[in-house]
């Protein structure tokens, strides 16, 4: 969520259309090569057939005839009966293989339910590019990247599958984590006649202006680090002024670049600010994927990586260069756990997700304010300023953010009409700050998982799973069975 991680500088610095076109063509080729490499890496654990379906670029206009091929993954290994349940993953901001390989819960329960598995790729991510290498060219091509269009894609795909006789009366249960969880909740709210139920894990559908305080997110991150060791967030907070002081001279910047093995030198204050943003991204991502076992979702990490990081940050007396040496050892857990990274690339704190389109979505409808005060959290003070944010978005994409659009389209403060949705949130997950933490109705329920990070309940079962995660999955199974049975009773299918 909100990971400005794939060549964002292209959109900031190279606004000239001609130059942008040349570099984006080059970038698109490199990006596709990266995707193919990732797909080969991920293809071993779970097997699926890759298919495509023609989709309208614009579902809500009669004047745009353009179509594109939307990718989706299918596995029918455990389908036994006609009208088998369809378990449908609402893909989010990345190539769909990555999410299929990291949503093991669907694979784990498919045999129990005899379900057909479908993982749908989100438009403008992975290889589902509406205008191929021109998709990110300009606003005329990129403007169809919205949640509303993505939901319409998924509805069309579901209806296409159900147009086949063997799936005519198949109940559809959608699953999603993070932004994908938001989409799962919204598709059930908006299209209840198409989707019978939704498991929306770590879905921050309330992380919007006027609904959730902007400081809440970073306070949870800080709490995770404080739980690991009480001195850890204190030392991180102290490091910001230490970095600025040491890098105030050429000699200090050279020392830090050499000591931390940066890929590029720190030439000026702008580079130093980029380093600070890089560190903030790392701390946030560590809290998000603070799983109880080794995992490789964003990058290879040990079990409970926040605890591993904080082992280097326990000595409260650390100051100056000694503190920064300790900080470097700590972040190496994230940047170089495998020992294969030769230098730190400040342009890319999370190279694997492939969320190239998220900055645009964050500049249009997905305006999710996050701020820090540097007192109740471990981050540098950073206020939320919509005017400044708007200027940046206009500069980058020539678009003006609409911070109220999501709540107007799907609802935020009043969700009392929502039904058949499980909102699960881990209290270790920063994104739970914008999650649904109370039941909305008897069938739209909130499940709190105290020992869980970001959508851990949707990952495959593991011997190291905390009991609260195991219990959450039992609740998921209960509601899925209930929704399927209600659908079959209604349609007299036995």
Active-site residue, from 141, 312, 454, 476 = 454
CA 27/CA 10 separation, integer angstroms: 10
Under 8 Å between Cβ of 170 and 85:
yes
CA 388/CA 216 separation, integer angstroms: 21
Distance between alpha carbon 421 and the CA centroid of its chain, in Å? 20
CA 494/CA 491 separation, integer angstroms: 9
| DSSP β-bridge partners for residue 198 | 174, 421
C-alpha distances in Å from residue 288, one per residue of 73, 116, 221, 285:
26, 30, 8, 5
CA gyration radius for the chain? Answer: 23
Active-site residue, from 128, 147, 178, 202 = 178
| DSSP β-bridge partners for residue 201 | 177, 424
Active-site residue, from 58, 281, 429, 457 = 429
* Residue (of 428, 381, 379, 382) closest to 280 by Cα position: 379
Asked if 454 is an active-site residue, the reply is: yes
Range 4-8 contact pairs with CB under 8 angstroms and sequence separation of 24 or more:
4/281, 4/358, 4/359, 5/281, 5/348, 5/349, 5/350, 5/351, 5/353, 5/355, 6/31, 6/348, 6/353, 6/354, 6/355, 6/356, 7/347, 7/348, 7/356, 8/359
| 3-state secondary structure at position 212 | coil
Catalytic residues: 178, 429, 454
């Amino acid at each position: 969520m909100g990971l400005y991680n794939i060549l964002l500088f292209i959109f900031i610095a190279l606004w000239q259309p001609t130059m942008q076109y040349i570099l984006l063509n080059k970038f698109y080729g490199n990006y596709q090569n990266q995707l193919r490499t990732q797909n080969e890496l991920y293809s071993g654990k779970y097997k699926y057939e890759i298919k495509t379906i023609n989709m309208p670029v614009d579902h809500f206009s009669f004047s745009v005839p353009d179509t594109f091929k939307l990718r989706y993954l299918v596995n029918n290994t455990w389908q036994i009966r006609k009208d088998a349940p369809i378990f449908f993953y609402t893909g989010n901001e990345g190539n769909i293989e990555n999410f299929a390989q990291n949503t093991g819960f669907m694979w784990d329960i498919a045999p129990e339910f005899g379900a057909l598995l479908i993982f749908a790729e989100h438009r403008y991510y992975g290889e589902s590019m509406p205008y191929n290498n021109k998709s990110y060219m300009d606003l005329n091509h990129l403007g169809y990247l919205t949640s509303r269009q993505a939901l319409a894609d998924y509805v069309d795909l579901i209806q296409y599958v159900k147009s086949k006789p063997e799936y005519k009366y198949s109940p559809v249960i959608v699953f999603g984590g993070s932004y994908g969880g938001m989409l799962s909740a919204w598709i059930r709210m908006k299209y209840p006649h198409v989707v019978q139920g939704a498991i929306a894990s770590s879905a921050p559908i309330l992380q919007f202006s006027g609904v959730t305080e902007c400081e809440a997110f970073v306070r949870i991150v800080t709490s995770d680090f404080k739980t690991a060791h009480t001195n850890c967030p204190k030392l991180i907070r102290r490091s910001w002024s230490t970095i600025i002081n040491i890098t105030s001279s050429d000699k200090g910047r050279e020392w830090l670049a050499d000591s931390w093995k940066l890929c590029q030198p720190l030439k000026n204050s702008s580079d130093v600010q980029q380093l600070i943003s890089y560190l903030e991204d790392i701390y946030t991502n560590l809290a998000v994927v603070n799983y109880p076992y080794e995992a490789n979702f964003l990058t290879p990490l040990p079990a409970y990586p926040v605890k591993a990081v904080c082992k280097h940050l326990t000595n409260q007396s650390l100051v100056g260069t000694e503190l920064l040496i300790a900080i470097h050892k700590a972040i190496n857990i994230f940047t170089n756990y495998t020992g294969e990274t030769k230098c730190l690339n400040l342009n890319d704190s999370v190279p694997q997700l492939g969320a190239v389109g998220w900055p645009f979505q964050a500049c249009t409808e997905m305006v999710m304010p996050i701020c820090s005060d540097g007192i109740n959290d471990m981050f540098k003070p950073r206020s939320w300023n919509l005017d400044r944010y708007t200027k940046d978005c206009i500069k980058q994409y020539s678009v003006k953010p609409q911070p109220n659009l999501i709540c107007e389209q799907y609802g935020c403060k009043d969700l009392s009409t929502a039904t058949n949705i499980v909102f699960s949130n881990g209290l270790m997950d920063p994104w739970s700050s914008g999650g649904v933490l109370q039941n909305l109705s008897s069938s739209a329920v909130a499940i709190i998982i105290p020992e869980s990070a970001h959508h851990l309940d949707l990952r495959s079962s593991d011997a190291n799973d905390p009991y609260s995660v195991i219990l959450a999955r039992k609740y998921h199974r209960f509601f899925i069975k209930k929704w399927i049975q209600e659908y079959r009773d209604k349609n007299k299918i036995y």
